[in-house]
């Protein structure tokens, strides 16, 4: 009897991880390939709506000038464009750069918030300041391609489209860090998000660096919330509007190369994920709705993966007393769990194995998920956080 119970725990935990990371993306790709994508879009500049681009910035002097230039040099009609920068208590040259651009471009405004409150609070205030019916929320370190805004906004011809995510790419990588693994993760997530939008209009959260939405669908982000973009997009889905990913709306962002810096970022995101899980827990009761199905399959099971790995390892320990084959599986699982240690040892002697780096990345990020859960359980007392340093801060 005990053997059967342990076997069921082992199969369940392994099966759930396999489903979320392998089977669900395959189902999405199959559905996407079988479905014709007839989007309602605006084809010319004359019909594009007026839009307010909102930037919450904290100490972004290294990237802000390039960011603003990428917006103002875009091919979007200037008379339909408003840009508002909100400084979240910056103490570097952010304000000077923003003020210089505000003098140069009448459509650009700068609001200097003296007290640092965190990105979500600044976003809430900037949305209230926006005068146009559509808004683009974007980070200072995400650079626009010339036609990114146009490709984002063309999708709002469909009155049921509520939010459109951009396709964020990377141009710089280093061999010894994790930028290649992070880039691969983002590329895979981009495909999954695109398929979710194409199949059911239920993209599970845009990349927070750049996305557009209808202003009247914006729901203010609660105080001390850590992952604002997911909260905002899920609020749009809950109002029965579509969230999609636009692959032609290309933006560029440098990726983290230091795994420990990225680990800290993932811990914060993980704590925010569990905040969102509680807020949108009602979707768990609708697993056969499009949004509920994607939420559970793409997000919730992944957030539970650290616990599933613990269950899987514990069941393998018990099963190893019944068969030597389970001992081999247990050894393999322990090697996966401790792969970051092996990767670190090899890196110190100048050896970099790409497959090991991928496995290590997976383990490290699940460790961050687990730590983020405990941070959430202890109570999140502030929405203020520091951004992760990127591979090329001057890009």
The predicted-structure confidence for 274-303, as pLDDT tens digits, reads as follows 999 999 999 999 999 999 999 999 999 999
Rounded Cα distance between 74 and 150, Å, is 9
Task: Provide the 3-class DSSP secondary structure of residue 285.
Answer: helix
pLDDT of residue 262: 81
| pLDDT band for position 395 (cuts 50, 70, 90) | very low
Q: For residue 332, how many C-alpha atoms fall within 13 Å in the half-sphere facing its CB?
A: 9
Contact, 369 vs 262, CB < 8 A? Answer: no
| pLDDT band for position 383 (cuts 50, 70, 90) | low
Mean pLDDT of 123-128: 97
Contact, 344 vs 42, CB < 8 A? Answer: no
Q: Are strands 242-252 and 143-144 parallel, antiparallel or unpaired?
A: antiparallel
pLDDT of residue 177: 54
Mean pLDDT of 184-211: 93
Looking at the predicted structure, is the pLDDT value of residue 390 above 60? no
Token couple for 198: 């194409």
From 153, 96, 88, 82, select the one nearest 124 (Cα to Cα).
88
Q: For residue 316, how many C-alpha atoms fall within 13 Å in the half-sphere facing its CB?
A: 20
> Rounded to two decimals, what is the model's pTM?
0.91
Rounded Cα distance between 78 and 91, Å, is 31
Gyration radius of the chain over CA positions:
22
Contact, 3 vs 319, CB < 8 A? Answer: yes
Residue that is written with structure tokens 């200097």 in the block: 112
Supply φ then ψ for residue 25, to 5 degrees. Answer: -60, -35
Task: Provide the 3-class DSSP secondary structure of residue 392.
Answer: coil
Contact, 102 vs 70, CB < 8 A? Answer: no
| pLDDT band for position 311 (cuts 50, 70, 90) | very high
Burial of 382 (C-beta count, 10 Å sphere; 0-12/13-18/19+): exposed
Q: Percentage of the chain surpassing pLDDT 90?
A: 72
Mean pLDDT of 33-60: 89
Average pLDDT, whole number, for the chain? 90
- 143-144 sheet: strands from edge to edge: 108-113, 81-88, 51-57, 134-138, 210-214, 161-169, 242-252, 143-144
Q: Per DSSP, what are the bridge partners of residue 176?
A: none
Supply φ then ψ for residue 113, to 5 degrees. Answer: -80, 115
Q: Are strands 134-138 and 210-214 parallel, antiparallel or unpaired?
A: antiparallel
Token couple for 47: 């019909």
Rounded Cα distance between 353 and 347, Å, is 9
Helical H segments across the chain, by residue range:
2-18, 24-34, 64-72, 94-104, 119-129, 148-153, 179-200, 228-238, 259-279, 290-294, 301-303, 305-319, 324-337, 339-348, 354-378
Token couple for 61: 């002097």
Q: What is the CATH number of the domain that holds 15?
A: 3.90.550.10
Our count of domains for the chain comes to 1
Looking at the predicted structure, is the pLDDT value of residue 44 above 60? yes
Residue that is written with structure tokens 């899980």 in the block: 277
Token couple for 38: 């007839």
Domain enclosing residue 154, as ranges: 1-395
Rounded Cα distance between 12 and 4, Å, is 12
Residue 228 CB contacts under 8 Å (≥ 6 apart), including other chains: 119, 120, 123, 208, 221
Q: Percentage of the chain surpassing pLDDT 70?
A: 93
Mean pLDDT of 116-145: 96
Token couple for 315: 């069941």
From 165, 162, 164, select the one nearest 242 (Cα to Cα).
162
């Amino acid at each position: 009897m005990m053997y059967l119970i342990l076997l069921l725990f082992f199969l369940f935990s392994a099966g759930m991880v396999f489903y979320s990371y392998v089977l669900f993306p395959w189902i999405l790709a199959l559905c996407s390939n079988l479905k014709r994508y007839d989007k309602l879009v605006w084809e010319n500049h004359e019909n594009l709506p007026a839009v307010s681009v909102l930037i919450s910035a904290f100490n972004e002097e290294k990237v802000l000038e390039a960011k603003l230039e990428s917006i103002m040099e875009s091919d979007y009609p200037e008379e339909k464009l408003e840009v508002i920068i909100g400084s979240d208590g910056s103490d570097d040259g952010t304000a000077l750069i923003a003020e210089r651009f505000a003098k140069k471009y009448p459509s650009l405004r700068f609001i200097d918030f003296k007290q640092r409150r965190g990105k979500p609070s600044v976003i809430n205030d900037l949305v209230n300041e926006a005068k146009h019916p559509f808004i683009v929320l974007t980070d200072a370190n995400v650079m626009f391609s010339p036609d990114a805004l146009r490709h984002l906004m063309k999708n709002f011809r469909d009155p049921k489209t509520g939010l459109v995510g951009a396709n964020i790419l990377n141009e710089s990588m280093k061999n010894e860090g994790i930028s290649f693994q992070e880039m691969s993760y983002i590329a895979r997530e981009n495909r999954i998000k695109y398929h979710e939008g194409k199949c059911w209009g239920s993209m599970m959260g845009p990349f927070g660096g750049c996305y557009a939405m209808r202003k009247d669908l914006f729901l203010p982000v609660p105080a001390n919330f850590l992952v604002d973009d997911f909260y905002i997009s899920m609020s749009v889905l809950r109002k029965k509007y579509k969230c999609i990913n636009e692959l032609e709306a290309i933006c560029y962002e440098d990726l983290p190369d230091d795994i420990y810096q990225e680990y800290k970022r993932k811990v914060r995101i993980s704590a925010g994920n569990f905040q969102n899980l509680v807020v949108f827990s009602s979707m768990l009761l609708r697993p056969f709705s499009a949004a509920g199905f994607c939420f559970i399959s793409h997000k919730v099971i992944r957030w539970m993966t650290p616990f599933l790995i613990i269950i899987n390892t514990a069941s393998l320990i018990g099963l190893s007393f019944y068969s030597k084959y389970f001992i081999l599986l247990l050894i393999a699982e322990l090697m996966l769990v401790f792969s970051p240690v092996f990767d670190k040892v090899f890196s110190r002697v100048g050896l970099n194995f790409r497959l090991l780096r991928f496995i290590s990345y997976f383990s490290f990020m699940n460790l961050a998920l687990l730590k983020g859960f405990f941070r959430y359980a202890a109570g999140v007392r502030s929405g203020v956080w520091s951004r992760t340093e990127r591979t090329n801060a001057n890009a």
